């Protein structure tokens, strides 16, 4: 008889989403709001929130994960993946339903949580280990292994605020991945570090899975899901759409995901242009087809779709690319500043092939209309480049980005 | 087949054992504190506490000397204002000693409450990213004040030698008194920490509460300046009995046992109430922080 490491029954999660703040146009409004706002707020705390202010992030999820199984969870942004992980890790509680888990549970939700910049690498290993529920003795036993894995031997007594971002994430991942657990919950962490470290991380996850641990793996890295997982579930708007074989699940996901284009996470925008310019979707095309996983060697067309709520005589729109938190470059849709008409718009840029490296890039979108009138959203979407290297060795696709170049080798 | 456990697992901690079953269900109102879980995370408590202590004086020129300078400086300022200018009575003892014996627990108490109140909000990233018993956060922020407390206790003991106030057996009472102060600080601190998560108003309110509380406690003045028929009012404040207790401990006066027993009882009640409220609401923290 196989025992289940995780059993979820009728899982629901409801979030109360606040209403947007009222606008205050006059001084009088502001002053009266001092009196009315607290009263309204008290009222909303006392009474039940209206139906429209609530949102079901998970609806009746039901699934089981057998001991030793590696389950991949896929779904678009907002499908409920993160909520599910947060409930499984007990960060937040479900509204209804029940989960039973057997054994020691560890999570790699966001690496480096609780790292303190002033403390040394050594001190942070113990701090981070303790936060994740490791005993000091356990950390001590694995200390050398962790340091070696992170490749930070020389800097182990340097405060981590002096670390490069690469060293930082390597150390963080190293601590997290050396936690001995029966059930491992993993979210996206493989998207850290350079290509070489990502491969190392993925193979480490593979080791964990082979050692008979139960793993629940949430990722946008479809290649990693394909390689690591034995089963997949697809979430869509908080519901379980599919539960079964990985290949089938990925096919379904790619079909449902590709249709309307990748959504932009609009909550991440800040700035004074918010509400006057909306940026809603980022579509990636290669050879005219919408793709979710991009071939790094092929020309890529990025299409930003949105709506302008007014006419801007001058508006500069840019797409910026980041890798591991490092800003790489920005692209503009127009060579000079140009007007933005009212209504829906499509802004398009084309990037030649063999510029991006395999793995994930984060996308930021910004707009400037005039001094003081701007918006910027970091990490509003992500681009996933497939691991196909066109026959090249792994060492040949390192670095943040490729530089177009020529080369030759002649007899000297 | 069950995965084999390698020898590296900590033994004797059944909480982390392979057989441990975790059940996750919707929160159901009041619940009992899970001591077993808290105990399993004791090392995290220690690590967070020492982190706060280590970080506090990093990149300062004077470093840990601040732990000595701060209480001394406060004592000098208060002595000048209340002792020299206001001629506050001090029951025949040198005013600096009279003041400092009360300032010592009070400084710890007020700092503990202030930092505990902000602790959960200040650890927002931690709370929204990892699970551990949330109670560890305010407890560790109260705990990290203990180092400063030890330093200022040493200063007081030296000052007593300087002012020729003898050390008596009464000093031993300072330990249980301190435990009671810690209990009140924990209870009140966790309560404020939990409320501040929902109502940030308390970030602004807490300093006032602490300040007013100080003047409602015989720290800079002796209890004897309060008319006898109003004194019971001050005794509703559990810190009154404890602060007076500290004076008796350090100055070698007789203890007011009735007042102390009231204070100890109130301390336990405040602790239980604060922790209970915190436990009731802690599962919502990640959603609203």
Mean pLDDT confidence for A146-166 = 88
Q: Across the interface, do A90 and B22 touch by the CB < 8 Å criterion?
A: yes
Segment A254-272 shows an average pLDDT of 67
Report B:85-104 residues touching A (Cβ under 8 A). Answer: none
**Helix (H/G/I), strand (E/B), else coil: A72:** strand
How far, in whole angstroms, is CA A387 from its chain's centroid? 18
Q: Are strands A70-75 and A183-187 parallel, antiparallel or unpaired?
A: unpaired
Domain-located, residue B7: no
Domains and CATH numbers, chain A: 56-104+181-258 (3.40.50.300), 262-397 (2.70.50.60)
Residue A394: pLDDT band (50, 70, 90) is low
Residues of chain B with C-beta less than 8 angstroms from the C-beta of A7: none
What's the pLDDT score for residue A197? 74
Hey, what are A338's tokens? 């140009």
Question: For A126, which residue in chain B has the nearest alpha carbon?
Answer: B47
* Residue among B21, B44, B58 minimizing CB distance to A118: B58
> First and final CA of chain B: distance in angstroms?
42
The answer, yes or no, to whether residue A402 has pLDDT greater than 90, is no
Residues of B whose CB is below 8 A from A141: 8
pLDDT confidence of residue A188: 64
Cβ-Cβ contacts under 8 Å, B287 against chain A: 15, 92
Give the three-state DSSP class for A120: strand
Least confident interval from A166-175, A257-266, B192-201: A257-266
Sign of CA dihedral A41, A47, A53, A55: positive
pLDDT recorded at residue A7:
92
> Does residue B127 lie in a domain region?
yes
CB contact under 8 A, B27 and A93: yes
In this complex, do B6 and A180 lie within 8 Å of one another by their Cβ atoms? yes
**Residue A395 vs residue A383, higher pLDDT:** A383
Are B130 and A114 an interchain contact pair (Cβ–Cβ within 8 Å)?
Answer: yes
- What's residue B191's pLDDT? 96
B122-146: average pLDDT: 90
In a domain, B25, yes or no: no
Q: Are B130 and A95 within 8 A, CB to CB?
A: no
A351 class by beta-carbon count within 10 Å (0-12 exposed, 13-18 middle, 19+ buried) = middle
Find the angle CA(A27)-CA(A30)-CA(A34) to the nearest 5 degrees: 140
Report yes or no: A207 and A215 within 8 Å, Cβ to Cβ. Answer: no
pLDDT above 90 for A119: no
Distance CA A36, CA B15 (A): 50
Nearest-by-Cβ selection for B132 from A68, A96, A133: A133
pLDDT: is B29 or A356 the higher one?
A356
Whether B287 and chain A come into contact, CB under 8 Å, resolves to: yes
Q: Provide the 3-class DSSP secondary structure of residue B42.
A: helix
pLDDT of residue B3: 39
Q: How many structural domains comprise chain B?
A: 1
Contact B130 A131 (CB under 8 A): yes
B151-165 as b/e, with b when 16 or more CB fall inside 10 Å?
A: bbbebbeebbeeeeb
Measure B121 CA to nearest chain A CA, in Å: 14
Q: Which pLDDT belongs to residue B116?
A: 95
Contacts of A87 (CB under 8 A, 6+ apart): A11, A13, A58, A93, A94, A99, B24
Q: Report the C-alpha gap between A389 and A409 in whole angstroms.
A: 23
Residue B43 counted as domain residue: yes
Q: Mean pLDDT across the stretch A201-222?
A: 79
Q: Write the residue in B18, B129, B283 that is nearest to A110 by C-beta.
A: B129
Pairing of strands A312-323, A231-236: unpaired
DSSP code string of A13-34: EEEEPPPPPPP--SHHHHHHHH
Q: Give the domain range for residue B36.
A: 31-288
How high is the pLDDT of residue B179?
95
Residue A260: band (very low, low, confident or very high) from pLDDT cuts 50, 70, 90: very low
Cβ within 8 Å, pair B3-A141: no
Extract the tokens encoding B289.
């922080």
Q: Is A324 left (phi over 0), alpha (psi -120 to 50) or beta?
A: left
Q: Report the number of secondary-structure helices (H) and strands (E) in chain A.
A: 8, 21
A47: pLDDT strictly greater than 60: no
The answer to which of A296-305, B18-27, B198-207 has the lowest mean pLDDT is B18-27
With a cut of 60, say whether residue A192 has pLDDT above it.
no
A19's tokens: 């209403």
Indicate whether B53 pLDDT > 80.
yes
The SS3 assignment for A319 reads strand
Instruction: Evaluate whether residue B263 is within a structural domain.
Output: yes
Taking the C-alpha atoms of residue B255 and residue A377, their distance in angstroms, rounded to an integer, is 64
Average pLDDT on A205-210 reads 78
Q: How far is B138 from chain A (nearest CA, A)?
A: 15
Token pair for residue B224?
């004897």
pLDDT category of residue B11 using cuts at 50, 70 and 90 = very low
Q: What is the mean pLDDT of chain A?
A: 82
Determine which of A187-201, A297-311, B143-157 has the lowest per-residue pLDDT on average.
A187-201
Chain B residue with CA closest to A124: the answer is: B51
Reported as a pLDDT band with limits 50, 70 and 90, residue A11 is very high
Q: What residue has token string 């998560």? A: B197
CB pairs under 8 A between A and B: 128
Minimal C-alpha gap between B278 and chain A (Å)? 15
pLDDT over 50 (residue A20): no
Taking the C-alpha atoms of residue B136 and residue B288, their distance in angstroms, rounded to an integer, is 19
pLDDT at A354: 86
pLDDT (0 to 100) of residue A97 = 92
> A312: which 2 tokens?
């801007």
Q: Which value, in Å, is the radius of gyration of the alpha carbons in chain A?
A: 24
Our CA-based measurement puts residue B208 at a distance from the nearest CA of chain A, in whole angstroms, of 20
Minimum Cα–Cα distance from A11: chain B residue: B25
CB of B54 less than 8 A from some CB of A:
yes
Q: Collect all residues of chain B within an 8 Å Cβ-Cβ radius of residue A100.
A: 21-24
3-state secondary structure of B8: coil
Higher pLDDT among residues B137 and A260, named by residue: B137
Asked whether residue A49 carries a pLDDT value surpassing 60, the answer given is: no
Interval B149-153 mean pLDDT: 91
- Whether B44 has its CB under 8 Å from any CB of chain A: the answer is yes
Joined tokens for residue A335: 């060579």
Q: Which of A113, A123, A182 sits opposite B130 (nearest CB)?
A: A113
* Cα–Cα separations (whole angstroms), residue B109 to B78, B113, B144: 17, 6, 12
The predicted structure's pLDDT at residue A221: 66
Nearest to A347 by CA among A309, A303, A390, A377: A303
pLDDT band at B196 (very low <50, low <70, confident <90, very high): very high
Phi, psi of A220 (to 5 degrees): -90, -10
List the single best residue of A17, A18, A91, A186 to mutate versus B (max B Cβ within 10 A).
A91
Helix, strand, or coil (residue A270): strand
Residue-level pLDDT at A384: 84
Kindly report the average pLDDT of chain B as a whole number. Answer: 86
- Please give the Cα distance from B62 to A241 (Å, whole number): 61
The fraction of chain A above a pLDDT of 70, given in percent, is: 84
H-type alpha helices, A99-215: 121-131, 136-150, 165-177, 195-210
Contact B100, B160 (CB under 8 A): no
Write the CB contacts of B57 (distance below 8 Å, at least 6 apart in sequence): B63, B64, B66, B67
CB-based contact, B39 to chain A, within 8 Å: no
Q: Which residue has the higher pLDDT, A193 or A199?
A: A199
pLDDT over 70 percentage in chain B: 93
CA distance A355 to A298: 9
Q: Specify if B1 maps to a domain.
A: no
- Backbone phi, then psi, for A296, in 5-degree steps? -65, -15
Q: Would you say residue B4 has pLDDT above 70?
A: no
Average pLDDT over residues B190-195: 95
Q: How far apart are CA A119 and CA A159, in angstroms?
A: 5
- Kindly state the tokens that stand for B129: 């990213």
Q: Does B11 touch chain A (CB under 8 A)?
A: no
**Counting Cβ atoms within 10 Å, is residue A59 exposed (0-12), middle (13-18) or buried (19+)?**
middle
Q: What is the mean pLDDT of residues A341-362?
A: 88
pLDDT attached to residue A48: 53
How many other β-carbons are positioned within 10 Å of the β-carbon of residue A52? 8
Coil vs helix vs strand at A328: strand
Q: What are the chain A neighbours of B125 within 8 Å (beta carbons)?
A: 113-114
Q: Which residues pair with A351 in a beta bridge?
A: A300
pLDDT band at B62 (very low <50, low <70, confident <90, very high): confident
Backbone angles phi, psi at A274, to 5 degrees: -55, 135
Mean pLDDT of B163-182: 92
For B58, name the nearest residue in chain A, comparing CA atoms only: A118
Q: What letter does residue B130 receive in the DSSP assignment?
A: -
pLDDT of A268 strictly over 80: no
Q: Is A366 helix (H, G, I), strand (E, B) or coil?
A: strand
Tell me: pLDDT of A397 over 80: no
CB proximity B121 to A under 8 Å: no
Q: What tokens were used for A240?
A: 């379980």
Question: What DSSP assignment string belongs to B59-97?
Answer: T-SSGGGHHHHHHHHHHHHHIIIIIIIS----TTS-HHH
Q: Do A91 and B129 touch (CB under 8 A)?
A: yes
pLDDT exceeds 70 at position A43: no
- Both tokens assigned to A370: 């005039």
Look at residue A112 in the predicted model and tell me its pLDDT.
67
* Selected residue with higher pLDDT from B3 and A76: A76
User: What's the pLDDT at B112?
Assistant: 95
User: For chain B, what percent of residues have pLDDT higher than 90?
Assistant: 43
pLDDT band at residue A243 under the 50/70/90 scheme: very high
The mean per-residue pLDDT over the stretch B154-158 comes to: 92
Residue B134 CA to residue B283 CA, distance in Å, equals 9
Is the pLDDT reported for residue A360 higher than 60? yes
């Amino acid at each position: 008889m196989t025992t289940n490491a995780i059993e979820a029954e009728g899982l629901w999660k409801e979030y109360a989403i606040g209403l947007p703040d009222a606008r205050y146009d006059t001084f009088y409004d502001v002053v009266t709001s001092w009196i009315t706002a607290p009263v309204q707020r008290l009222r909303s705390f006392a009474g039940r929130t209206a139906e429209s202010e609530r949102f079901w992030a998970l609806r009746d999820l039901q699934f089981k994960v057998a001991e030793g199984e590696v389950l991949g969870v896929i779904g678009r942004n907002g499908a409920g993946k993160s909520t599910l992980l947060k409930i499984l890790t007990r960060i937040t509680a479900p509204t209804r339903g029940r989960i039973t888990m057997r054994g020691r549970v560890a999570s790699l939700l966001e690496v480096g949580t609780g790292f303190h910049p002033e403390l040394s690498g050594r001190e942070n290993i113990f701090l981070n280990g303790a936060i994740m529920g490791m005993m000091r003795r356990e950390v001590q036993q694995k200390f050398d292994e962790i340091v070696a894995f992170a490749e930070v031997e020389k800097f182990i007594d340097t405060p981590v605020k002096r670390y490069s971002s690469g060293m930082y994430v390597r150390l963080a991942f190293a601590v997290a991945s050396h936690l001995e657990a029966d059930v491992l919950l993993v979210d996206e962490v493989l998207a850290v570090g350079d290509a070489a470290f990502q491969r190392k991380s993925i193979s480490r996850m593979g080791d964990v899975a082979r050692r008979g641990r139960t793993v629940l793996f949430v990722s946008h890295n479809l290649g990693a899901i394909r390689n690591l997982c034995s089963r997949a579930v697809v979430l869509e708007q908080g519901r379980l759409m599919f539960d079964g074989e990985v290949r089938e699940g990925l096919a379904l996901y790619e079909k449902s995901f590709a249709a309307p284009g990748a959504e932009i996470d609009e909550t991440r925008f800040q700035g004074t242009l918010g509400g006057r310019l909306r940026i809603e979707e980022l579509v990636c095309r290669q050879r005219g087809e919408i793709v979710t996983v991009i071939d790094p060697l092929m020309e890529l067309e990025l299409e930003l779709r949105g709506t302008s709520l007014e006419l801007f005589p001058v508006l500069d729109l840019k797409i910026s690319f980041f890798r591991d938190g490092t800003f790489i470059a920005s692209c503009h849709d127009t060579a000079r500043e140009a007007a933005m008409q009212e209504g829906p718009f499509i802004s398009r840029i084309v990037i030649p092939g063999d510029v991006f490296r395999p793995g994930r890039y984060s996308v930021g979108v910004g707009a400037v209309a005039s001094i003081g009138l701007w918006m910027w959203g970091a990490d509003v979407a992500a681009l996933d480049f497939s691991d196909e290297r066109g026959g090249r060795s792994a060492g040949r696709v390192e670095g943040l980005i490729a530089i177009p170049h020529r080369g030759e080798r002649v007899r000297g | 087949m069950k995965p084999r456990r390698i020898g590296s697992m900590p033994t004797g901690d059944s909480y982390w054992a392979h057989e441990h079953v975790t059940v996750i269900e919707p929160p159901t109102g009041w619940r009992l504190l899970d001591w077993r879980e808290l105990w399993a995370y004791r090392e995290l408590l220690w690590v967070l506490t020492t982190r706060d202590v280590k970080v506090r004086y990093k990149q300062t020129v004077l470093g840990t000397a601040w732990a000595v300078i701060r209480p001394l400086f406060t004592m000098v300022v208060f002595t000048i204002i209340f002792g020299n200018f206001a001629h506050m009575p001090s029951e025949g003892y040198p005013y600096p000693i009279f003041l400092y014996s009360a300032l010592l627990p009070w400084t710890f108490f007020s700092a503990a409450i202030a930092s505990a109140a902000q602790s959960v909000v200040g650890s927002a990233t931690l709370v929204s990213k990892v699970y551990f018993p949330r109670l560890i956060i305010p407890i560790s922020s109260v705990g990290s004040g203990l180092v400063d407390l030890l330093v200022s206790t040493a200063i007081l003991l030296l000052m007593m030698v300087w002012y020729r106030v003898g050390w008596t057996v009464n000093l031993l009472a300072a330990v249980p008194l301190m435990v009671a102060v810690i209990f009140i600080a924990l209870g009140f601190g966790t309560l404020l920490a939990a409320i501040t998560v929902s109502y940030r108003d308390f970030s602004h309110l807490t300093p006032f509460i602490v300040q007013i509380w100080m003047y409602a406690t015989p720290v800079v003045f002796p209890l004897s300046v309060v008319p006898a028929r109003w004194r019971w009012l001050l005794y509703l404040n559990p810190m009154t009995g404890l602060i007076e207790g500290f004076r008796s401990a350090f100055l070698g006066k007789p203890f007011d046992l009735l007042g102390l027993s009231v204070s100890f009882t109130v301390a336990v009640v405040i602790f239980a109430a604060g922790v209970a409220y915190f436990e009731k609401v802690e599962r919502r923290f990640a959603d609203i922080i």
